[in-house]
Amino acid sequence: MDMMAVATIEHDAELMLRVREGDSQSFALLLAKHRAPVIHFLYRMIQNQAVAEELAQEVFLRVYRSRASYEPTAKFTTWLFRIASHVALNHIRDGKHERNQESLDQESDEGMSRQVASEAPTVEQRMVREAKFEEIRQAIELLPAKQRAAVLMHKYQEMEYSQIAAALECSESAVKSLLFRAYETLRAKLAHMAGRE
């Protein structure tokens, strides 16, 4: 871990300790910094922006309500993503995810037809991009929820194995196993994209 990372740990933890003392301005700073990563993580987990934002509010609400018991024992980001993972995995476990996904699929189809009808000059390029995006989205969606969470934290949040392990409450070797299985599946599904566009 480099010095910059250490400084970040201290700064976020310090802000959270100030929140614990009743400083709401520090909470606003933490929110400004971590809002986008949390929402993007949840969006890629659930694949529905409205639901992702709803769940992100739940995450930040839990952060705020946990302020009294907060102890800076782990990196703030790790603690935050532990909450976010819990919220996302619970949402998926409760089966709400499938219902959201159905409506998303309908929206995608409608969106595609609208584009075909109204933007004829760029339709081919757009359709290729849409198809690629759809392929990536589906490949990630088909991963088991825990593998998906591990991959998203590794790829987009650039979290270390130890942080992902803490967030998912499992061992580092379990995280390595989750990641290798997940990337193996993704390689099998997406490797043919090499050299495309």
Smallest CA-to-CA distance from 30 within 50, 40, 44, 16 is with 16
Q: What distance in Å separates the CA atoms of residue 10 and residue 7, rounded to the nearest whole number? A: 5
Rounded to 10 degrees, what is the CA torsion of 186, 189, 194, 195? -140
Q: Could you tell me the smallest distance in angstroms from the CB atom of residue 132 to another protein?
A: 7
Q: Is 106 in the site for another protein (CB under 8 A)?
A: no
Q: Is 186 in the site for another protein (CB under 8 A)?
A: yes
Q: What distance in Å separates the CA atoms of residue 17 and residue 26, rounded to the nearest whole number? A: 9
The number of residues that bind another protein (CB under 8 A) is: 37
Q: Among the candidate windows 7-15, 70-78, 130-138, 141-149, which touches another protein by CB under 8 A? A: 130-138
Cα of 51 vs its chain's centroid, Å: 12
Residue with smaller CB distance to another protein, 95 or 194: 194
Q: Is 39 in the site for another protein (CB under 8 A)?
A: yes
Distances (CA, A) of 156 to 40, 58, 71: 9, 21, 26
One residue of 21, 65, 95, 124 binding another protein per CB under 8 A: 65
Q: What distance in Å separates the CA atoms of residue 85 and residue 121, rounded to the nearest whole number? A: 42
Q: Could you tell me the smallest distance in angstroms from the CB atom of residue 154 to another protein?
A: 7
Interface positions with another protein (CB under 8 A): 28, 31, 35-36, 39-40, 43-44, 49, 52-53, 56-57, 60-61, 64-65, 132-133, 135-137, 140, 154-156, 158, 176, 179-180, 183, 186-187, 190-191, 193-194
